[in-house]
A and B are shown apart, each in its own frame.
Chain A
Amino acid sequence: MNDTLKLILQLMIPGLCLGCVYGLNGIGAALLYKGSHTINNAQGAVVGFGALLGYSLQNRGLGLISSTIIATIACFFVGVLLQVGVISQIEKKAPIYVVIATLALSIVITNANYLIVGSYTYDSAVILINVSKYLHIDSVNVDILWSNIVAIAVSFIAMVSVHFFLNKTKFGSAMRAAAMDPFAAESCGISVVKTRAVTWGIMSALGALGGCLTGPLFGVSAGIGIAAGAKGNTGAVLGGYGNMYGAIIGGMIIGIVETIFGYIYSPYQTAFTNALFLIFILLLPHGIMNEKAIEEG
């Protein structure tokens, strides 16, 4: 019994940590889908960019906290820039083109990352979070990485602050209104252009934060975020596309399930996770939160 409990705890915490990062990406995907009915395939590339930015800032001698904050804020503006400069131009023509355009953006950003830093994986365990030590819990004899705990805690803080931003501030309410009905919101004096730009900003900033947090776990490389970005979409579908809270739960489920699958038989980890996603999108399209956003035809 004690062994099983130990194993579950040992797998749970890294899974939850991964899940939190997926959840952060999922929030962005959900907000974007609610706001403009598109998906973002470039999220993974932005995650990688944010992680690299955070890492290189630390290399320049900045502290952990300040570099993460700077990377997050910088990526907020990257997201705004992408929306204003590229996506808003394409959105006007047909939303479906956005899918392919973000795919193109993903190729561009990822390869720009490769050009800047090369194809190395930087070991940032010591540099990024100087807590590569384990927390030992005596009662169940489990070792937990401090990086995992920090990542989970920071993700929770970020999620809660997004929640309060959307529900308690004036601009957050405007964003929700614009997502509900752009025309009505515009006639009430809300700038839909602005809310959409901020949606992209929040999405990119959360992605970059997730990238900075996963850096110490896997090492920082140019392609670090690709999987995380895709899993964000997956988690969002699992939770009910368009529902922010569902996306968090879905992301966490994906993270934990992925870790457990990885433990059972690691070569099929990708196949298992994607198959789970397919089962969900085909059999349970409204997701866990029963969000009726998904379009069937």
Chain B
Amino acid sequence: MEERSKERSSSRKNIYRISGIVLAVLIALLLPVICGFLESGAYYLNVINYIFVYTIASTGLNVMTGYSGQINLGGAAYFSVGAYAVVILCNAGVPTLLSVVLAMLVVAFFGFLTAVPAAKLKYHFLALATTAVGEVVNNLLTVSPGGITNDTHGMFVKALVLFGFKFKSDASLYYLLLIMTALCLLFTWAFLHSRTGRACVATRDSVDAAGSCGIDVRQYKIIATVVSCVMIGFAGFLFAYLNRYISPDTFAAGKSTMFMSMMMLGGSGTLFGPFLGAVLITLIMELLRGIQGSGPYMQLTYGFILLIEMMFMPQGVSGAISDYKYKKDRRRMEAAGGDGKDA
């Protein structure tokens, strides 16, 4: 009797889950249409597009920091290299698709260049070193050799043309970014469930234990860093075509902190944590933007959110949710009279 009711409830749960996923996909596909009916729908759509870009970037960061356990406070460097490389190549007349591939190779090489020496650093020293990398890159963008980045004036970006289709409207960009975000999350999931990804996670959990299992710790740290850099660089490319203007100021150290805080707020080391963090932080920032003279208040609130998050739930929102679930389950089990082992 009891078993049957349990079965029924679990099948009901499955139905809820499936219908929830179907609903989410439907909403995601119809969002531009819905936004078309709203008063300031274009603005909402634009904000959502930024959320997607930041999701990809912080997911990339998550591969390095959340899963492989290496802190990176220079994310903006890879972000900017990706953006600038694509735009410069495109301006030079290289076909878009080829220039994206070439730019990702550039980012990968740059990531490799920083990962090889950085793989031997730990924690704070890695934080300091990556901050320094970010500063160097930003300085080189501001005063570029030969002026290829147009220095402080920044560069205006033409609309993205892929396979003869011009991604000019927010709605078209929305679908592109939606697909790209989904692919990136899928890629991260696949990466984590591959041999390489598991080795990276093992490295995070314990360097010594992983090493004693025959995992070449240094090699996997480098792999995780390069994968993460390419993803961040890819987000940079999408950002360039979404923002349509890039300048060294858009890639200042604040961006690195932002990616870090998105990842941390959502929950580092979880698949959907970065997405959650990107949604929360972007929404909070946009809500505060409406207030008059809000610059310092915006930053202040942002700092406070990050601080409180570090103080009270360093595992992020996902961590807090799973913690809550765990406690609830425990309580229910205890109430049922079990010793918390079965059921």
Contact = CB atoms under 8 A, between A and B. Distances in A.
Interface of A: 33, 37-39, 86, 89-90, 93-97, 99-101, 103-108, 110-112, 114-115, 230, 233-234, 237, 241, 267-268, 270-271, 274-275, 277-278, 281-282, 285, 294-297
Nearest to A241: B125
Interface residues of B, number: 42
B261 interface: yes
Interface of chain A, main secondary structure: helix
Contacts of B314: 90, 93-94, 97
A270 to B, nearest CB: 4
Given A101-B310, A115-B300, A297-B207, A285 B125 contact: yes
Contacts, number: 130
Ranked nearest first, the 4 interchain pairs of A and B with the lowest CB-CB distance are: A107-B303, A104-B306, A108-B303, A271-B139
B213 to A, nearest CB: 16
B131 interface: yes
B207 A114 contact: no
Contacts of B304: 104, 108
A95 B303 contact: no
B106 to A, nearest CB: 19
B307 A274 contact: no
28 contacts: A38-B124, A90-B314, A96-B123, A99-B123, A100-B260, A108-B307, A111-B299, A111-B300, A114-B295, A115-B296, A237-B125, A267-B142, A267-B143, A270-B138, A271-B139, A274-B133, A274-B135, A274-B136, A281-B125, A281-B129, A282-B117, A285-B121, A285-B125, A294-B121, A294-B125, A295-B123, A295-B125, A296-B122
A278 B310 contact: no
B266 to A, nearest CB: 14
Given A94-B314, A96-B123, A114-B296, A271 B140 contact: yes
B128 A281 contact: yes
A21 to B, nearest CB: 19
Contact of A99 (B124, B261, B299, B302): B124
